[in-house]
Amino acid sequence: MTVYCQNTFAATGHHNSTPTLLTGAAYFHEDGTTPLSFAQAEQRFRSGDVHYPSQDFMSFGIHKHATWIKLDVQNHTQIAQYRRLNAAQPWVDDLAIYLVNDQGMIQTWHSGDHQVADSHLLPGIGFVFDMELPPGQSEIFIRGQSLDPLTLPIALLDAYQSRVLDAQIHVTSGILYGILLALVGMNLVLYLSIKQLDALLYSLYISCFIIVNISYNGYGFAWLYPHSVFIENHLTLIMMIFHGVSGLVFVSNFLRIHQHSPKLNLALLIYGGLGILTMVALISLNMHLWATKFAFKFLSLTTMLMILLGVLNLNKTKDTLYFLIAVICSMLGLLITTLSVWGIIPYNYYSYNGAVFGVVFEATILAVIVAYRLKDFEQQRITAEYLSSYDPLTNLFNRRSFMAAGHQCIQQSNRTKKTLSFVMMDIDHFKQINDTYGHHVGDLALSHIAELLKRHTRENDIIARWGGEEMVILLPDTNAEQALAYTEHLRAAIAATPFRHEALDIQITASFGIATRINTETLETLYRLADKRLYRAKQQGRNRVEPQDRHLIVTTQEPY
């Protein structure tokens, strides 16, 4: 149990006017199986058999016995003062509040998450109670009991302080939830677009934490399932287990443990499965106290396992160091929250929400890592696509890509009723270049010819290395006469531009065959026709262009 006692000020138009002070606090635990009545508890406080906190917060951990707290309140004004008592976190099971003075009982309240949600539950804040403190001395008795951590961040706030606190918490919560939901949405989009499993598992991991946070902060109980006590009492515990398990699954995939350590991956899956089965069994047997302790220990152990996995795989994955930093942020946040709930460190909004801040830091770092991984994946995909489409030596289209682009040109030619030409080229005596200067020089000669082809073609012409020393060019919107003029120009450019290697000028020539689409010839038909014309050019002595049959050439007023 954690108790945080905050002195506040009277709401008389200025929040810093005559104070209403908490002048003392005491507590004791019920030690029997029979609950004490208010009269019995009051008598216990009067007897002095109680404890007095040495600081402004108290902690007793998780236990099944009820705890009574008495707050001494002094109203120095002559009129009743409004105060809101922030009494307990949303997961506290049973809560009873008694306001008394020397005249007797003034008012009582009962609430908690063992009954349907009522007006006392304020999401993000906890159970709150509006009261009018009479002039003079009065006492507030609080009885709290819970099988979850009995966390009672007690504060007496005036109207102004209540509004300020509510605004701060709700704005901060909105920002935090917004960041987490944006990260979930972004990674879901990435998964749907490029099917990267890391992104999906990461979204699942963060989504489980969001559900845990919504549940234990009371948003779910107040807005989603206000009449389901069973869901309120068990959803947080169940989702704590799923949060840990989803984290392990994400880590296994992220660090590629399933690839290089399949036995370890199997052990992690068994560990996660046992965690889920254990929680289901404890809930089924109505062992809520044990379920609570198990959930906290499982999540803590799982977080340490994630760090250990990061350390063990530090040199196996390039992003492991950043992953380790991210998980340490989450672990430190969880540690701060746990210590504040157990009262080991001062309880305040920031220490209580340490787990949230830790997960936000973790999520941000992991999101950056996942984004970079996806960027690398996309770059690898683009590179693979390029390598599958281009000849690596000449950076020209390969045959497969040429055929795909060529079929599109044929379809466009059918639509526009414009002709096109197919040019096939073969480097003359290329074997002699390899035999004389070596295959390395032959490769450089191919690159030299490819650069000449690029330099002397139009932007929409399609060039490809067909195989060996053969290259092809598809000339859209080009008739036979234009194709002949272009090819003659290209042949002359190749012959006039020797390949220079070291101190040698190596003369290179090429032979060409042309086929022009006249009617409805397919790309394959044009290839066969051009190949025949190329064969004829070689027979006629090489370093020449063998055009389409002369009677098929159509004159044009526009040169190539």
CATH number of the domain residue 152 falls in: 2.60.40.2380
Same-domain check for residues 149 and 208? no
What's the Cα-to-Cα distance from 262 to each of 198, 248, 269, 306, rounded to whole Å? 18, 14, 11, 16
Is residue 17 in a domain? Answer: yes
Compute the distance between CA of residue 73 and CA of residue 65 in angstroms, rounded to an integer: 26
Same-domain check for residues 227 and 112? no
Same-domain check for residues 186 and 130? no
Whether pLDDT at 8 is above 50: no
The pLDDT of residue 559 is 40
Is residue 392 in a domain? Answer: no
Its pTM stands at 0.67
Sign of CA dihedral 448, 453, 456, 459: negative
To 10 degrees, the CA torsion angle through 179, 182, 186, 188?
110
Compute the distance between CA of residue 330 and CA of residue 333 in angstroms, rounded to an integer: 5
C-alpha of 479 from chain center: 56
Q: How many CA atoms lie within 13 A of 77 on its CB side?
A: 15
Same-domain check for residues 314 and 373? yes
Q: 420 - beta bridge partners?
A: 476
Check residue 223 and report its DSSP letter: I
Share of the chain above pLDDT 70, in %: 91
Is residue 30 in a domain? Answer: yes
Same-domain check for residues 376 and 408? no
Number of domains in the chain: 3
Is residue 393 in a domain? Answer: no
Residue where a domain stops, chosen among 127, 157, 187: 157
Of residues 308, 310, 335, 183, the one with CA closest to residue 254? 310
Of 71-75, 76-80, 92-96, 380-384, the one with minimum mean pLDDT is: 380-384
CATH code of residue 294: 1.20.1070
The torsion angles phi and psi of 9, rounded to 5 degrees, stand at -125, 155
Same-domain check for residues 92 and 174? no
Compute the distance between CA of residue 450 and CA of residue 444 in angstroms, rounded to an integer: 10
Secondary structure class of 347 (helix, strand, coil): coil
DSSP sequence for 134-191:
PSEEEEEEEEEE-SS--EE--EEE-HHHHHHHHHHHHHHHHHHHHHHHHHHHHHHHHH
Same-domain check for residues 147 and 245? no
CATH code of residue 497: 3.30.70.270
Same-domain check for residues 151 and 182? no
Secondary structure class of 74 (helix, strand, coil): strand
The pLDDT of residue 7 is 44
pLDDT: is 490 or 377 the higher one?
Answer: 490
Of residues 350, 337, 341, 454, the one with CA closest to residue 395? 454
Residue where a domain stops, chosen among 363, 386, 409: 386
The pLDDT of residue 61 is 66
Average pLDDT value for the chain: 86
Helix (H) or strand (E) holding 481: helix 480-495
The pLDDT of residue 532 is 94
C-alpha of 454 from chain center: 44
Is residue 560 in a domain? Answer: no
The pLDDT of residue 59 is 62
* Tokens 């939901």 belong to residue: 181
Residue where a domain stops, chosen among 157, 191, 211: 157
Same-domain check for residues 70 and 109? yes
Q: Would you place residue 20 in the very low, low, confident or very high pLDDT band (cuts 50, 70, 90)?
A: low
Q: How large is the average pLDDT for residues 458-486?
A: 92
Whether pLDDT at 477 is above 80: yes
The pLDDT of residue 65 is 84
- List the domain range (segments joined by +) for residue 534: 399-552
Whether pLDDT at 344 is above 90: no
The pLDDT of residue 361 is 86
Same-domain check for residues 139 and 229? no
